[in-house]
Amino acid sequence: MDSVKALLEIAKEMYDQMKAGKVPELKISTRTKHNIEFSEESEVWVYGDRKSIRSAKSVKGAYMLLRMAYVIGFLKEQLKLNKSSTLRELYYISENWGIAKFEEQSESDRLIEDIEILTSLQREHFNVRPEEDGATVIGPIKIREETRRGTREIHCQDDVGEGGYQIPVNVDKLEFVECDANFVIAIETGGMRDRLVENGFDEKFNAIIVHLKGQPARSTRRLLKRFNSELNLPVVVFTDGDPWSYRIFASVAYGSIKAAHLSEYLATPSAMFVGIRPSDIVNYKLPSDKLTDQDIKALNSILTDPRFDSDFWREEVKLQLKLGRKSEQQALAKYGLDFVTDVYLPERLTELGVLK
């Protein structure tokens, strides 16, 4: 089994070092914005050459390697039994590991990411999954999926409720049976998703509406990637107008910094931003809120983030810092509940060439 073999290679590397009388260590790609670079071949952001060393020379490093050994043993047994676990369950399972137990879930989550980088595999290959995400799809597409009771086909307009088809953890098992869509619109908030559905946006424009549910899960990003690469559908991302929402767009289009090792698998480089812009606050006189100190810090960080190194983002972010304001998608309701679907989005999508 390739997954087990990859896990044991990590353990073997540490064992061989100790057998040779060396202090064991592992070198892992540094996960910061200073260590991501643009891949011309895949058109996504990937890790560069900088490495972080986890060494038993320090107490912190020794604990990390000990936990790594425990996790490898747990995952190996899980794969052998054909079982699965969530990230949250893995954290709690470590309660039985004595001094190797994790103090908080962020530690176990990060270690799983380390294993992904070291093995060039995804956590799904080790039967590790996130908690239920709840992101959904509504639109003119029929999907075939495997369930515990066999295969079923679902039309994401006719066979689902108002909330839509819930995206499963492993979307690579889905088959696209029929598709009449012209493009995909990924939406940050549930409220705006509901507005578009209620106003019949998916039917009027033959659009697949994907609810991102905030920062999108990997399964959601992977599905967007598949819609784009396999069905040749343009993907647009509609978010609020704040730095945290810009990062949501970046995770879809450019890949996230902490998961840059998966960018070729998850990112959709051609995705376009149709979210609320700082210039919209001025042009549409939108209701807005004052930027917080955290917002300002995040905006300044975006200015040094290579994923946002374009005239568009520099101009918009600098304008937002000058205005000192941010605005939400729902602020468009100032002009009525139909304004977003009848005016704002059609105009923006036409500008981008998505609508003719």
Residue listed under structure tokens 């955290």: 294
Within 8 A by CB and 6+ apart from 127, the residues are: 75, 78, 79, 82, 83, 84, 85
Euclidean distance between the first and final Cα of the chain, in Å? Answer: 50
Other beta carbons within 10 angstroms of residue 163's beta carbon come to: 14
Query: For 131, phi and psi rounded to 5 degrees?
Result: -70, 165
Determine which one of 91, 92, 254, 284 is catalytic: 92
Strand 272-273, strand 235-238: pairing? parallel
Comparing C-alpha atoms, which of 110, 95, 13 is closest to residue 60? Answer: 110
Other beta carbons within 10 angstroms of residue 147's beta carbon come to: 8
Query: For 228, phi and psi rounded to 5 degrees?
Result: -75, -50
Q: Is 92 labeled as catalytic in the residue annotation?
A: yes
Strand 128-129, strand 51-55: pairing? unpaired
Q: Is 96 helix (H, G, I), strand (E, B) or coil?
A: helix
Residue 104 DSSP label: S
| Separation CA 58–CA 38 (nearest Å) | 33
Q: Is 177 helix (H, G, I), strand (E, B) or coil?
A: strand
| Separation CA 50–CA 287 (nearest Å) | 44
- Positive or negative CA dihedral for 288, 294, 300, 306? negative
Strand 150-155, strand 141-147: pairing? antiparallel
Please list the active-site residues. 92
